[in-house]
């Protein structure tokens, strides 16, 4: 087995509970601003998460849940405009400090940075959303800690397609066995595993019932010294939180 060279992080749901606390309310704020009577509650949003990508999610909503809506002639621009407004509101929520990182995330990233471990972000969310999250949680300039930001429409096929992971690995000149992925959802692990990456899962309320049988380790959270994780599947070698030493041990197993 090759030595671990890089950590590849998904964003939404993995680094922070952005879906529930950020994206969903931001979508609703965009709908209200546009004069639409749409409202995505937590249950509906859970169903919409079957589709990755914000613009794609709006289209899915109209195809499956709001079929009576009369689409405007410039429908593509309408969707892009809604999504741009949603990104603006999301950034605003981030700046207000309303979306903290999940337990153990900051500790692991800081430890990896100090150890010189290469890192990348691999996500379907927009680059603006990535910057907003990192700036408002890890601090201004923290985006530079990540060698590659693979985000948004950088590849046409979004997760569960493996394209975004394959692209990130190519940019870093790495093979799949030299990296490990961190995901939180079924679409995420389908993407990472299809790119031949070992994957650690931290579930959340939206994804707790997903099939993660391909995950090398499934946890409720990354955890820290005062807030231990619960192992749902896999071998954590008796540890109680995810640090770089455990990640290396999992990768080598």
pTM of the model: 0.86
Number of CB atoms found within 10 A of residue 253's CB: 12
Q: How far apart are CA 217 and CA 234, in angstroms?
A: 4
Burial of residue 165 (number of CB atoms within 10 Å: 0-12, 13-18, 19+): buried
Strands 231-234, 217-219: pairing is antiparallel
Task: Transcribe 109-138 into DSSP letters.
Answer: HHHHHHTT-EEEEE-SS-HHHHHHHHHHHT
The beta-strand segments (E) located in the chain are 6-9, 118-122, 148-150, 179-183, 198-202, 217-219, 231-234
With tokens 């031949």, the residue in question is: 196
Q: How far apart are CA 129 and CA 53, in angstroms?
A: 12
* b/e 222-247 (16+ beta carbons within 10 angstroms → b): bbbeeebbebeebebeebbbbbbebb
Q: In this structure, are residues 206 and 19 in contact, taking their beta carbons and an 8 Å threshold?
A: yes
Residue 248 has pLDDT above 80, yes or no: yes
Q: How far apart are CA 179 and CA 49, in angstroms?
A: 26
pLDDT 10s digits, 48-64: 988 988 999 999 999 99
Structure tokens that stand for 4 in this block: 């671990």
Computed over every residue of the chain, the mean pLDDT equals: 94
Please say if 10 is a catalytic residue.
Answer: yes
The sheet with strand 198-202 has its strands ordered as: 148-150, 118-122, 6-9, 179-183, 198-202, 217-219, 231-234
Q: In this structure, are residues 3 and 178 in contact, taking their beta carbons and an 8 Å threshold?
A: yes
pLDDT confidence of residue 18: 86
Q: In this structure, are residues 224 and 107 in contact, taking their beta carbons and an 8 Å threshold?
A: yes
What mean pLDDT do residues 226-253 have? 97
Task: Place 91 in a pLDDT band, splitting at 50, 70 and 90.
Answer: confident
Beta-ladder partners of 150:
122
Residue 128 has pLDDT above 90, yes or no: no
Q: In this structure, are residues 94 and 128 in contact, taking their beta carbons and an 8 Å threshold?
A: no
Best CA proximity match to 189, nearest among 169, 162, 168: 162
Please say if 209 is a catalytic residue.
Answer: no
What mean pLDDT do residues 176-205 have? 97
Strands 179-183, 148-150: pairing is unpaired
CA distances in angstroms from 239 to 50, 242, 243, listed in the order given: 32, 8, 9
Give me the catalytic one of 10, 17, 184, 224: 10
Of all residues in the chain, the percent with pLDDT exceeding 70 is 100
> Which range, of 15-24, 28-37, 189-198, averages the lowest pLDDT?
15-24
């Amino acid at each position: 087995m090759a030595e671990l060279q890089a950590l590849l992080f998904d964003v939404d749901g993995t680094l922070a509970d952005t879906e529930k606390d950020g994206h969903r309310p931001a979508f609703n704020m965009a709908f209200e601003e546009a004069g639409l009577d749409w409202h995505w509650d937590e249950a509906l949003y859970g169903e919409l998460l079957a589709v990755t990508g914000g613009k794609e999610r709006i289209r899915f909503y109209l195809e499956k849940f709001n079929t009576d809506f009369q689409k405007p002639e410039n429908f593509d621009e309408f969707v892009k405009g809604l999504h741009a407004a949603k990104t603006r509101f999301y950034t605003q929520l981030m700046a207000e400090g309303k979306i903290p990182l999940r337990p153990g995330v900051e500790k692991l990233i800081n430890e990896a940075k100090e150890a010189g471990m290469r890192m990348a972000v691999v996500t379907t969310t927009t680059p603006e959303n990535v910057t907003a999250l990192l700036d408002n949680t890890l601090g201004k300039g923290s985006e530079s800690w990540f060698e590659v930001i693979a985000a948004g429409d950088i590849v046409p096929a979004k997760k569960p397609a493996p394209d975004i992971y394959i692209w990130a690995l190519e940019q870093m000149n790495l093979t799949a066995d030299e990296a490990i992925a961190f995901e939180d959802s079924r679409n995420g692990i389908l993407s990472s595993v299809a790119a031949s990456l070992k994957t650690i899962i931290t579930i959340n309320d939206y994804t707790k019932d997903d099939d993660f049988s391909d995950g090398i380790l499934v946890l409720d959270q990354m955890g820290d010294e005062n807030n231990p994780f619960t192992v749902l599947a896999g071998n954590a070698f008796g540890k109680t939180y995810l640090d770089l030493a455990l990640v290396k041990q999992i990768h080598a197993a």
